[in-house]
Amino acid sequence: MVTLEDVKNNPEVQAYLAGGNAHLGALGYTDHGPRHAGLVASIAKNILERLGYPEREQELAAISGYLHDIGNVVSRYYHAQVGAALAERILRSMGMPPAEVATVMGAIGSHDPEDTCNAVSPVSAALILADKSDVHRSRVRNPDIHSFDVHDRVNYAASRSFLKVDTAGKVISLQLTIDTEIAPVMEYFEIFLTRMLACKRAAEFLGARFELDINQVRLL
């Protein structure tokens, strides 16, 4: 069976992920490279593990999480759909069964755009939650704080980001610590409200409730 480690070690995946991250960097975007991919993979797997899904489904969530942004190597626009097509060719060449490839393709293709993305499977739901919850200062690539745009400010202001899965209560909560002297909470909602609504829909797909806590105050 194809594993996350197999995918990580695939030269095409490494090249496409690096290329896409470089392209987005040239356009002023935050990190979308191996750091983001690895974290999304880990969180997506953890969500399904905590909710009791089969191990293979957990692994497919991790693989989807690692591959979800490779479409950026072509363009930011429609990168989810392009990424799904690239993933199909790569995973088939690695020997993954068609049914599993279909699951990964559906998850990648459904994770964006944020205002319309909807989960189509548990793997898809886990990917959406994992991707949209990665808000942290380590994603900021602009070295000049004085030239930060709103995305840089909000990510830089976030010193802690943790997606907690309460198995017993069926609650998935994003817990953030934000320095409001760098970015007010309102700026977070200005750019991330659609992401939080996508997370709410994804959590509901998994039979859970989504909550957002910022600086230990529940806002959603």
Helical packing angle, 122-132 and 98-109, nearest 10°? 40
> Is residue 200 predicted with pLDDT exceeding 90?
yes
Complete DSSP assignment for 65-110: HHHTTGGGGT-STTHHHHHHHHHHHHHHHTT--HHHHHHHHHHHHT
Beta strands in 113-184 (DSSP E): 158-166, 171-178
Q: Which residues pair with 177 in a beta bridge?
A: 160
pTM confidence score: 0.96
The one-character DSSP state at 146 is G
Q: Nearest 5 degrees, angle CA 136-CA 141-CA 147?
A: 100
Closest CA to 157 of 197, 214, 95, 119: 214
pLDDT averaged over every residue in the chain:
96
Q: Which fold has domain 4-218?
A: Hypothetical protein af1432 (1.10.3210)
Q: Nearest 5 degrees, angle CA 58-CA 161-CA 81?
A: 50
- Helix (H/G/I), strand (E/B), else coil: 145: helix
CB neighbours of residue 204 within 10 Å: 14
> Is residue 115 predicted with pLDDT exceeding 90?
no
Please report which helix (H) or strand (E) contains residue 30, including its range: none
Which of 65-69, 97-101, 182-186 bottoms out in mean pLDDT, i.e. has the lowest? Answer: 182-186
- Residue 116: pLDDT band (50, 70, 90) is confident
Distance CA 123, CA 130 (A): 11
> What are the pLDDT digits (tens) for 68-83?
999 999 999 999 999 9
- Residue 201: pLDDT band (50, 70, 90) is very high
- Residue 45: pLDDT band (50, 70, 90) is very high
- Helix (H/G/I), strand (E/B), else coil: 207: coil
pLDDT (average), residues 24-31: 94
Distance CA 60, CA 62 (A): 5
Structure-token match 């896409």, residue found: 20
Residue 65 has what pLDDT? Answer: 98
pLDDT (average), residues 135-160: 94
